[in-house]
Amino acid sequence: MTPGNTKLQNVMNEVRTTSPRTARSISRFALLALVLILVPPGRAQTFTVLHYFAGNGDGAEPTAGVLVDPRGDIYGTTNRGGSFNYGTVFRLDANGQEALLHNFLGGEGLFPSGSLIPDSAGNLYGETLDGGAPEGGGCAHGCGTVFRGNNNGTGAVLYSFAGTTDGGAPSGGLIRDAAGNLYGTTENGGIESCYVQYGCGVIFKLDATNHETVLYEFTDGVDGKMPDGIIADVAGNLYGTTYDGGIYGIGCVYELSATGAFTVLYSFPGGADSSVPNGHLVMDAAGNLYGTTSSAFDSEGYGIVFKLDPAGNLTVLYNFLVASDGEYPNSLVMDSAGNLYGVTLGGGTGSGCYYGSCGTVFKLDTQGTKTILHNFTGADGELPNSLTMGGPGNLYGTTLGGGKGSACSYYHGCGTVFELSR
C-alpha cells in the first residue's frame, strides 16, 4: 500500500467515525441514488458555495449528499454540529438561508448518515449511525435508527437497531418503493459470530408499519461484508457493493433478486481492476452498473470508474493515476445522455488541505474523456464526498471539511454545501 493510500484508509475511518464510536460503528461515505436529468451542453460551469457550516450550534462535517426539491430548497444532514454536536437536519432555501430543522440527541439517534429521501407528502427519511437504543444496550450509545421528519422539524423514530441479527450502524442511505417500503444496509449486525462479534452487516426492509425484515446477512465470505448502500431496478432487484470480502477479500458487487437469491456479480482482484468499491452504484437503461473504487489496497493509482455489464464483465472506464488528476473517486451520478459525474476526495490543483490537495468535481463522457469541472481550494471546501443533480442539470454536493468555521480545525473548517451550475 502506498503512503497516500494509507492516508486514505485513515481518513475513510475518520469520516466514518467523526463521532466517538465503537469499532462496530464503522461507516462509509454515504452516497446517492441515480438521478437522470438532461444536462444542457455548451455552457460554462459556475461554482458557488451555498453555505459554509460553522459548528458551534450550526451543523458541521456533512458526510452525505443533499436533496433538492422542485422549489429549489435543499435538504441534508450533518454528522456533527447542532445544539448537542450529534448532528443536524438542515434546509437551505432558494436564497441560501439556512434553517436547522432538527438537532439530534440520544434516543432519536446520533450522527445522521446517508442522504435524505422524500415521499409524496413531503416527509423526509434518513438514518443515524448511532443512538436509538438506551445507553448500555447492544452498542455503546445505541445501534442506529431509521427516522422520518418533515420540513418543519417534527418527526419520529421508525426503527431502532439492536445491533444483533437485525443489523447495526445503518449508513448507506435508504431507497423507497412504490408501496412505501424502505430498504437499506447496515455495516454491522447480522450473523453475530461474524467480524469479531460485530456482525458483517445486513440488507433490510422496513415496511409501512415499521416492521423490519432482514433480507440478507453477509458472512465475510465470497459474499463480502460491510455493504455500502443499495439501488433497485424496475423489477425490484437490489444491487450494491461491499467494502470488504469477496473472493479476494477486497470488495465485490452483488445482486439480491426480488425473490431473495443472492449473487456476487464481480469480486475485485486488486491491481489494474482495483479494490474497495465505494458509494452507490448507478444503473443505465441497458442494465449496466457503474461505480468507483478507492484502490485502498493497491499501489496502482488512486481508484477507478468502472462499468459492469449484465454478463459480469468489468471495464475500467477511467483510472486515476496521478494526484493532480484527482484521488479516490466517489459519488457517481449520470445524466440522460450517459455522461457520468463524480467527486474525488483528494487530488486536483488545490493545496494545503487534508491530503495536501483538496479534491475535484469531474465529468466522464461516454467516450471516456474526463474533464475536471472544479478544483477545490480549501477555502471553498475540501474532502468532497457527495454529488447529486437538481434543477436544469445543476450539480450539488457537500464537503466534509474546508470552508470556514474555526470550531472544526481537524478538517480545516466545518464543511460546505456547493452548487455547480451549467
Encode pLDDT of 389-420 as tens digits: 987 789 999 999 999 878 898 899 999 999 99
> Hey, how many other C-beta atoms are within 10 angstroms of the C-beta on 321?
14
Q: How many CA atoms lie within 13 A of 257 on its CB side?
A: 7
Which CATH superfamily hosts domain 3-421?
TolB, C-terminal domain (2.120.10.30)
Q: What is the pLDDT of residues 288-311, one digit of tens each?
A: 999 999 886 666 689 999 999 999
> Which letter does DSSP use for residue 162 in this model?
-
CA–CA dist 319, 48 (Å, integer): 28
Laid out side by side, the sheet with 360-364 consists of 327-334, 340-346, 360-364, 370-375
| Residue 175 in grid coordinates | 431507497
Question: Tens of pLDDT along the chain (422 residues)?
Answer: 343 444 444 444 444 444 433 333 333 333 323 232 333 333 457 999 999 999 999 999 999 999 999 889 999 999 999 999 999 999 999 888 999 999 999 888 999 999 999 999 989 999 999 999 766 566 778 899 999 998 777 789 999 999 999 999 998 999 999 999 999 999 999 998 898 888 999 999 999 999 999 999 999 999 999 999 999 999 999 999 999 999 999 999 999 999 999 999 999 998 888 899 998 899 999 999 999 998 866 666 899 999 999 999 999 999 999 999 999 999 999 999 999 999 999 999 999 999 899 999 999 999 999 999 999 999 999 999 999 998 778 999 999 999 987 889 889 999 999 999 97
| Residue 419 in grid coordinates | 452548487
Q: What is the pLDDT of residues 340-359, one digit of tens each?
A: 999 999 999 999 999 899 99
Burial label for 148, CB within 10 Å (0-12, 13-18, 19+), is middle
> Which letter does DSSP use for residue 244 in this model?
E
Give the three-class secondary structure for 181.
Answer: coil
Residues whose CB falls within 8 Å of the CB of residue 20, separated by 6 or more in sequence, listed in order = none
Q: Following DSSP, what letter does each residue of 72-138 receive, concatenated?
A: S-EEEEESEESSSSS-EEEEE-TT--EEEEEE--GGG-EEEEEEEEE-TTS-EEEEEEEBSSPTTSS
Q: Are 210 and 172 in contact (CB under 8 A)?
A: no
Domain chopping of the chain, boundaries: 3-421
> What length is written for the chain?
422
Give the three-class secondary structure for 266.
Answer: strand
Between strands 59-60 and 80-81, the pairing is: antiparallel
> Hey, how many other C-beta atoms are within 10 angstroms of the C-beta on 338?
15
pTM: 0.89
Q: What is the pLDDT of residues 241-290, one digit of tens each?
A: 999 999 999 999 999 999 999 999 999 998 888 899 998 899 999 999 99
Burial 174-207 (b: 16+ CB within 10 A, else e): bbbeeeeebbbbbbbbbbeebbeebbbbbbbebe
| Residue 212 in grid coordinates | 423490519
What's the sign of the alpha-carbon dihedral 156, 217, 328, 351?
Answer: positive
> How many Å is the maximal CA-CA distance in the chain?
57
**What are φ and ψ of residue 15, in 5° steps?**
-60, -40
Closest by CA position to 35, among listed 308, 397, 400: 397
Q: Are 416 and 398 in contact (CB under 8 A)?
A: yes
CA–CA dist 344, 43 (Å, integer): 23
What type of residue sits at position 395? Answer: L
